[in-house]
Chains A and B, each alone.
Chain A
Amino acid sequence: MAISTDSIYSHKIWNETELSKIVPGGVPFPLLSDSSGVVGGQYGVYNAATGTELRGRFLIDPDGIIQAYEVLAPSVGRNVEETIRQLQAFQTVRDSGGRVATPSGWQPGKPVLYPNPDLVGNVWQVWSVEEAF
């Protein structure tokens, strides 16, 4: 879901006049209105001087726990691929019951790590720098 301090009427017209020309049928997710910034304040992304919110992205797990966030200044857009990669990584960890960890540069299909006493000091044997990219 997406949140800004704009009104829901503004959201509607933006979706109809612009977003629908980028995404056929418009965006499927809700565009929420936090006109007072009180919700953005709780998430640390509201700027009272401008009355707007930063590009903050929060990944929230099925228990309602925040697993990750990223906050960008307004002029730089997000990388959706990285958001999806992080979601897949957190889901992989959760599905394993916390038995696995995903190393730097992990993508679906790449090997995960199984932290255990024997792996301490031995990650170099199972992971190399090339796998970070």
Chain B
Amino acid sequence: MPTDFKPGCVRPKSTLAAAAAPADTAVAVVKEEIHVAKVGGLAPDFELAGYQQGGFKNFRLSEYRGKWVVLCFYPGDFTFV
């Protein structure tokens, strides 16, 4: 599941999983896989660094296939509500 994250001074990149496809994948194919979220459509896949219960890991949405996922965006840490 989540892979290890090595803390450093450089901020980790936000990666759309389609954009992280192998370099030999044709650009046209990658373009097709990137899509905007809509009900009834595939949730855009991504890989992001994250913090969970004391540790840093890299998380990929598609690793949660087979489970229900509640994905919550929020304006920022310490934003009160």
Chain A interface residues toward B at CB < 8 A: 1-15, 18, 25-26, 28-40, 42-45, 50, 52-69, 74-78, 83, 87, 90-91
Q: Is A33 a contact partner of B68 (Cβ separation < 8 A)? A: no
Q: A37-B14, A83-B70 are in contact. List 10 more A-B contacts (CB 8 A).
A: A1-B69, A2-B74, A32-B48, A39-B48, A42-B34, A66-B39, A67-B39, A74-B75, A75-B81, A91-B68
Q: Which residues of A contact B38 (CB under 8 A)?
A: 66
Q: Is A53 a contact partner of B78 (Cβ separation < 8 A)? A: no
Rounded to whole angstroms, the CA-CA distance of A74 and B75 in the bound complex is 6
Q: Is A53 a contact partner of B51 (Cβ separation < 8 A)? A: no
Rounded to whole angstroms, the CA-CA distance of A76 and B53 in the bound complex is 27
Q: With A3-B48, A10-B77, A58-B37 as given contacts, are A32 and B68 in contact (CB-CB < 8 Å)?
A: no
Chain B interface residues toward A at CB < 8 A: 2, 5, 7, 11-16, 34-46, 48-53, 56-57, 59, 61-62, 64-79, 81
Q: Is B51 a contact partner of A60 (Cβ separation < 8 A)? A: no
Tell which of A8, A40, A43, A50 touches B51, judged by Cβ atoms closer than 8 Å. Answer: A8
Rounded to whole angstroms, the CA-CA distance of A53 and B40 in the bound complex is 22
